[in-house]
Amino acid sequence: MPFSDVIGHERPKAILQTALRHDRIAHAYLFHGDEGIGKQLLALRFAQAINCESGDGCDACGTCRSCMQIEARTHPDFLAVEPDPELANPQIKIEQIRDLEHQIAYQPLVSRKKVFLINDADRMTIGAANALLKTLEEPPDHSILLLVSGRPSALPATVRSRCQALRFAPPARTQVEAALILKREIPPADARLLAAASQSRLGAALTMDLAATHAALDELCAVASPQTLRSVAAILTAAEAFHKSDRGPEVLDWLAQWTRDLLLVCVGAGQDHLIHEDRLPLLKAAARSAQADRLAGLLDEIDQLQRSAGRNLNLQMALETVLLHLREALLETGSRLEVGGSK
Ligand SMILES: [Zn+2]
């Protein structure tokens, strides 16, 4: 289970392996980036590589006693701290950081370094973060802290500034597809669907229900079909339903993919480039009367909306607007569009 076991993330891997090779490991790292893309896994592999008993010093063998114990969280010089997932509002409490402080004071028992992995570090309470700050200000030489966070902006700047930051971007979709084919033993078309539905987050794609994902896509295709888009009432109902079931961001992502595919079909691009190649007949039928410039404009618009997501974006209104603009792009303006409710 060496570094190569983690898909993508070539840059953070190279930085960590260079540090291992030259024995210049920082006292604290902050692994940050989207959820479910491999930050925690790489942090674990790094912890293994630091104390591996049989590797070359810059990777983990995955099979020695130390590597196995870190994997099983039973290594005496390794501690993983994370919020209690059973709680309604999972937090890392001050007691957990106090426990870490207590352990970090002692020399390693069996290995070179004591490694502390703090997962979902942004979920530390203020008290916990302040306690950790004291350790970060004067870390013992024998210790390494690995903070993992999907929301680094939620961490105090004082904590962030004392860590070497490693930014993780989602791996390329093709890399995720290849990994899914291998690890889930599914056909390429299904792998492509899961990679797209998970926004290239392998962690999520590995556990996604394939049948449910197909069903969700069927539903979305029905909503975005020219037949449904003909009715403004149907658009408003669909936007409201998606919003109420908390699927707004997911539907917006999918609409971006669908619009992109429609545009590619519209301009006659090869079908290899389509995300939803398996829905080619639907895409072709919808693109028949589509206007490429309007689709391109819509793609920009969705991109803008996605960037403002999280900043009080009214998702229901955003979905309504996107669907109404998709309607304009796919259906000729004029007599064919009904302003009323019936199909
Ligand atoms: Zn090992």
Tens-binned pLDDT, residue by residue, of the chain (343 aa): 688 888 889 999 999 999 999 999 999 999 999 888 899 999 999 999 999 998 777 899 999 999 999 999 999 999 999 998 888 889 999 999 999 999 999 999 999 999 999 999 999 999 999 999 999 999 999 999 999 999 999 999 999 999 999 999 988 888 899 999 999 999 998 999 999 888 888 888 999 999 999 999 999 999 999 999 999 999 999 999 999 998 888 899 899 999 999 999 999 887 778 888 889 999 999 998 899 999 999 999 999 988 876 666 788 999 999 999 999 999 965 444 445 444 4
Angle (CA) 225-227-228 rounded to 5° is 70
How many whole angstroms from 52 Cα to the centroid of ligand 1?
A: 4
How many whole angstroms from 114 Cα to the centroid of ligand 1?
A: 15
Angle (CA) 336-338-343 rounded to 5° is 100
- The DSSP 8-state label assigned to residue 247 in this structure reads -
> What whole-number distance in Å separates Cα of residue 148 and Cα of residue 156?
14
Q: How far apart are the first and last CA of the chain?
A: 56
How many whole angstroms from 104 Cα to the centroid of ligand 1?
A: 22
How many whole angstroms from 8 Cα to the centroid of ligand 1?
A: 21
* Amino acid occupying residue 285: A
How many whole angstroms from 157 Cα to the centroid of ligand 1?
A: 35
CB contact at 8 A, 228 and 324: no
CB contact at 8 A, 287 and 266: yes
What domains are there in the chain, each with its CATH number?
3-168 (3.40.50.300), 209-330 (1.20.272)
> What whole-number distance in Å separates Cα of residue 147 and Cα of residue 293?
45
How many whole angstroms from 164 Cα to the centroid of ligand 1?
A: 24
Neighbours of 321 (CB within 10 A): 17
**Strand, coil or helix: 168:** strand
How many whole angstroms from 254 Cα to the centroid of ligand 1?
A: 41
How many whole angstroms from 28 Cα to the centroid of ligand 1?
A: 22
Exposed / middle / buried, residue 215 (Cβ in 10 Å: 0-12, 13-18, 19+):
exposed
How many whole angstroms from 3 Cα to the centroid of ligand 1?
A: 12
Exposed / middle / buried, residue 159 (Cβ in 10 Å: 0-12, 13-18, 19+):
buried
How many whole angstroms from 177 Cα to the centroid of ligand 1?
A: 28
Q: What are phi and psi of 153, to 5 degrees?
A: -65, -20
> What whole-number distance in Å separates Cα of residue 168 and Cα of residue 252?
23
- For 6, residues 6+ apart whose C-beta sits below 8 A from its C-beta are 13, 38, 41, 42, 45
Catalogue the long-range contacts made by 127-131 (C-beta closer than 8 Å, 24 or more residues apart): 127/93, 127/94, 128/91, 128/92, 128/93, 128/94, 128/96, 128/97, 129/155, 129/156, 129/159, 130/156, 131/94, 131/97, 131/98, 131/101
How many whole angstroms from 120 Cα to the centroid of ligand 1?
A: 26
How many whole angstroms from 45 Cα to the centroid of ligand 1?
A: 10
Residue written as token pair 């545009």: 263
How many whole angstroms from 60 Cα to the centroid of ligand 1?
A: 5
How many whole angstroms from 144 Cα to the centroid of ligand 1?
A: 18
How many whole angstroms from 70 Cα to the centroid of ligand 1?
A: 9
